[in-house]
């Protein structure tokens, strides 16, 4: 159609040009030439104007669309446009929701439905151009109610409840749904709420058994810990008792060692006075980790805290390291 209108416009232009040429050549039939030019101008204007009108972007009108999710869980988008136009919708926030193009009916109307709220872009195209319009679908209790029901279940099969779900939880959701008008949404919600009520007693029984088992395990753990603590206390008491006995024996042995050491010191003094030795060669004993004294006798009582960590060296070396003579010797 547009091509034909362009052709008519072109014919009108040619006719107009031919008429102008006749005027220039002073055609004697001036009346015929005048009509020739007039017809050419009319054809040109009609052809070009008609082609331009038909090649403009399509009209997009969504004023008759719903603005909220209704009781059946959907919102209706009514798009009024050109008869030959095609329409599709796209969720601006959810790229996965993008329909295919569908043709408008003979009245230029197309009805589409969406099942969730959000911002939608309506895209309309014809043979020559395209146009878009944005429409907001608001949420409503009819969209929120199914979500509350779904939150009671584990997974999409709706055969298992979320652990910890109580009958009170189910009744709270049912109370929210009771105010909804009868429709597909309310019917669907009541169906799965009834299923939840049937599943809840089994869940409660299972969780009670698990809690009882856990409580028993914790009780046994406490008893075991108490028993182990008692055994540990008895073991410590036994060790303390044995240590006391050993300490008494050690004290007795220490007394004997002191007497022997005293005798040894007397003998050493006698030997020292009778046969003095070279100080640089005389051997003494120290405890590097538990004292600052040197000892002539490796069994000296002053070395008891050395725990076997005894080192021998010359007297001169010990004195150079600031060790002083043990008071027991």
For the domain made up of 75-139, give the CATH fold.
Immunoglobulin-like (2.60.40)
CB-CB contact of 329 with 261 (8 Å): yes
- The pLDDT of residue 79 is 92
Residue 256: what pLDDT?
53
Q: What is the pLDDT of residues 91-120, one digit of tens each?
A: 888 776 788 899 999 898 999 888 888 899
**CA-angle at 137, arms to 133 and 139, nearest 5°:** 165
Tell me the pLDDT tens digit for each residue of 156-204. 888 999 999 999 999 999 999 998 999 999 999 999 999 999 999 999 9
The pair of three-digit structure tokens given for residue 253, joined into one six-digit string: 């042995």
pLDDT at 31: 75
Strand partners, 325: 294
CB 282 within 8 A of CB 315: yes
pLDDT tens, position by position, 278-302: 555 689 998 888 788 888 888 888 8
- Record the pTM: 0.51
pLDDT digits (tens, 9 = 90+) for 34-91: 787 788 788 778 767 766 666 677 888 888 888 899 999 999 989 999 888 899 998 8
% of residues, the chain, pLDDT over 70: 83
Residue 268 pLDDT greater than 60, yes or no: no
Angle (deg, nearest 10), helices 167-177 and 141-150: 170
Is the per-residue pLDDT at 277 higher than 60?
A: no
Parse the chain into domains and list their residue ranges: 2-54, 75-139, 141-256, 278-329
Distance CA 200, CA 165 (A): 7
**Residue-level pLDDT at 270:** 47
Which string of DSSP letters, residue by residue, matches 212-256? HHHHHHHHHHHHHHHHHHHHHHHHHHHHHHHHHHHHHHHHHHHHH
pLDDT of 254 reads 60
* Choice among 34-48, 210-224, 281-295, 313-327 with the minimum mean pLDDT: 34-48
């Amino acid at each position: 159609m547009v091509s034909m209108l362009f052709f008519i416009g072109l014919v009108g232009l040619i006719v107009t040009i031919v008429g102008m040429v006749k005027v220039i050549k002073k055609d004697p039939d001036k009346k015929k030439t005048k009509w020739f030019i007039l017809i050419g101008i009319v054809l040109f204007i009609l052809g070009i104007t008609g082609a331009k009108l038909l090649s403009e972007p399509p009209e997009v009108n969504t004023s008759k669309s719903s603005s909220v999710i209704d009781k059946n869980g959907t919102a209706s988008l009514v798009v009024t446009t050109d008869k030959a136009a095609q329409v599709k919708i796209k969720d601006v926030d959810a790229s996965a929701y993008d329909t295919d193009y569908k043709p408008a009916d003979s009245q230029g109307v197309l009805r589409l439905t969406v099942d969730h709220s959000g911002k939608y872009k309506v895209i309309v195209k014809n043979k020559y151009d395209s146009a878009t319009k944005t429409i907001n679908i608001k949420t409503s209790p009819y969209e929120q109610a199914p979500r509350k029901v779904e939150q009671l279940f584990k997974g999409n099969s709706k055969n298992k409840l979320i652990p910890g779900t109580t009958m009170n939880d189910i009744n709270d959701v049912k109370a929210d749904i009771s105010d909804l008008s009868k429709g597909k949404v309310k019917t669907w919600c009541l169906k799965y709420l009834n299923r939840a009520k049937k599943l809840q007693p089994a869940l409660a029984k299972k969780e009670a058994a698990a809690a009882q088992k856990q409580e028993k395990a914790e009780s046994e753990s406490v008893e075991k810990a108490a028993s182990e603590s008692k055994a540990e206390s008895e073991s410590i008491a036994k060790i303390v008792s044995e240590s006391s006995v050993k300490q008494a024996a050690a004290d007795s042995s220490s007394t004997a060692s002191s007497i022997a050491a005293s005798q040894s010191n007397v003998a050493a003094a006698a030997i020292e006075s009778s046969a003095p030795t070279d100080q640089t060669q005389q051997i003494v004993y120290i405890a590097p980790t538990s004292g600052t004294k040197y000892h002539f006798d490796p069994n000296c009582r002053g070395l008891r805290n050395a725990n076997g960590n005894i080192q021998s060296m010359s007297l001169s070396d010990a004195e150079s390291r600031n060790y002083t003579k043990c008071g027991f010797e």
